[in-house]
Amino acid sequence: MPVTVPTAPAAQIAGYDALGQAELVRRGEVTAAELVDWAIERIDRVNPTLNAVVTPLYEAARADAARSRPGPFAAPFAGVPFLVKDLAMDVEGAPFTAGSRFLRGYVSDHDSELVRRHRRAGLVIVGKTNTPEFGTVGTCEPLRHGPTRNPWDPGRSTSGSSGGSAAAVAAGLVPMAHANDLAGSIRYPASACGLFGLKPTRARTPKGPDFGDVAGGWACEHAITRSVRDSAALLDATAGAAPGDPYPAPPPARRFLDEVGADPGRLRIAFSPRTADGSPPHPDCLAALDDAARLCEELGHELVEAQPPALAATGDAVQKVLSAVLAWTVLMWERRFGREVAEGDLEPLNAAYLRSGRHLPAAEYLAAVQTLQAHARKVAQFFQGDDDDVQGRADPAPGLRTAGFDAWLTPTLSTPPAPIGEITSTEQDPLRAARNGARTHAFPAVLANLTGNPAMSVPLWWNADGLPIGVHFLGRFGDEATLLRLAGQLEQARPWAARRPRLHA
């Protein structure tokens, strides 16, 4: 990203990625206070239409910016404005809603460990972003806050659950924003909003002090970014187990940022146009897949039509885990508040999930976990393959075996972004959101969550209506390095940062 201009107005700064903005501060060309004030101006101007930021934290942000220390040895993102998704992560002194009316009045009394690491990296938190209630649906239209609108077409969804963060970055309010992912919630909105979304390896980033893990490691914390290098540099700043974490991720061989721009070698990439149940996706998603496969071949990679064992047979187990997670979440808040959920506290879909999760025997939950762990071992074998099949292959990241596939390529979403209101439920039809969302999220992004593997959505293609259609790469366990090398190569071959949606600061 360019960093050669002198001080610039808010609209011009919005075109810089986070490292680019930090470089301007480091060189003394702008101040942290200016970056934060300009971000606040953009939010105030665009957010009334976008509805991405649900909790402004301007006063605290200005105080933090005033304490920022520029200079050659400053933190990597010193002075850069940042947004935190209003789900799972606490920001001291800020309301915490998780998109739910049940959490009305709750204010966090501490920073989560990841938020502390964000601050140590120099990021200035200017607000919190919208999320569906408890993150359980693939859109961002909670009854508590109303829908976040897609900057490429305000009549369409951002997908979810990190839809508020994705919309804010796509519209240029901030250069990157926190996001989390239990079943695709970083990658789906990255696709819908034309951004880069990396879901890291299980346990790569911490969830403490409140959680060791969530859903046996399904949930991961990271960010949605405009550039690949921002995602890598932020992961460098936040990765690593905290004291007391139940398990660590495999250590990287070197900085993640060093992987961006490094030669990935000749990768062997599986690809599949088939959804989890074998149904065909939208033609635009197939076109995006074909385009990405051709580009990868042009870059020298080997493309093989293949896919891991079908996830469709494990759908009942996946649903049991998700219902149990919702029931656990509500129970946690009931105990914290000292009161039970009342009628009207939850949206219809989550009320249905709660009824199911509360009546799920512990033995059934553990049986579901066992089923999915067995499936994860089959996926690992798909990537590992036959050790004799190594001809013409570049070495993957150090410590990983040299057979099978380096990545699996599919479309990220199975349809273009859905119209606002399509992935919602009613009291009369509480499962409508899940049913309609399944048509849009028919490729198994959740596979990365149940295996713990890293995965990413890359914005390489836009349809005739000007809507972004991302493609998804699932990587080997512990091997963000290969994904970041590939993403950097794709970004260089097909730059996307200059594209601007209809609604932009």
Q: Which of 500, 502, 501, 484 minimizes the C-alpha distance to 231?
A: 484
Q: Does residue 179 belong to any structural domain of this protein?
A: yes
Q: Which of 458, 433, 456 minimizes the C-alpha distance to 143?
A: 433
Q: Does residue 504 belong to any structural domain of this protein?
A: no
State yes or no: is 378 an active-site residue. Answer: no
Count of domains forming the chain: 1
Portion of the chain with pLDDT greater than 70, in percent: 94
Residue 310 scores a pLDDT above 90: no
Angle at 209 between CA 346 and CA 241, to 5 degrees: 120
Q: Does residue 3 belong to any structural domain of this protein?
A: no
Q: What is the rounded average pLDDT for all residues in the chain?
A: 93
- DSSP letter assigned to residue 151: T
Residue 7 scores a pLDDT above 50: no
Contacts of 213 (CB under 8 A, 6+ apart): 202, 203, 207, 219, 245, 246, 247
Residue 366: count of CB within 10 angstroms of its CB = 12
State yes or no: is 161 an active-site residue. Answer: yes
State yes or no: is 100 an active-site residue. Answer: no
Portion of the chain with pLDDT greater than 90, in percent: 89
Residue 265 scores a pLDDT above 70: yes
- The boundaries of the domain holding residue 128 are 10-493
pLDDT, tens digit, for every residue of 93-140?
999 999 999 999 999 999 999 999 999 999 999 999 999 999 999 999
Catalytic residue among 161, 165, 191, 414: 161
- C-alpha span between 64 and 372 (Å, rounded): 44
Contact 274, 502 (CB under 8 A): no
pTM, entire model:
0.94
Residue 145 scores a pLDDT above 50: yes
Contacts of 42 (CB under 8 A, 6+ apart): 10, 11, 14, 172, 173, 505
Q: Does residue 499 belong to any structural domain of this protein?
A: no
Residue 392: count of CB within 10 angstroms of its CB = 9
Contact 396, 259 (CB under 8 A): no
User: Tell me, what CATH number does 128's domain have?
Assistant: 3.90.1300.10
Catalytic residue among 185, 231, 425, 457: 185
Beta bridge partners of 408: 270, 474
pLDDT at 6: 34
Angle at 405 between CA 402 and CA 408, to 5 degrees: 150
Average confidence (pLDDT) over 30-43: 96
Q: Does residue 381 belong to any structural domain of this protein?
A: yes
Residue 505 scores a pLDDT above 80: yes
| Confidence band, pLDDT 50/70/90 cuts, at residue 349 | very high
Contact 457, 470 (CB under 8 A): yes
pLDDT at 464: 98
Q: Does residue 5 belong to any structural domain of this protein?
A: no
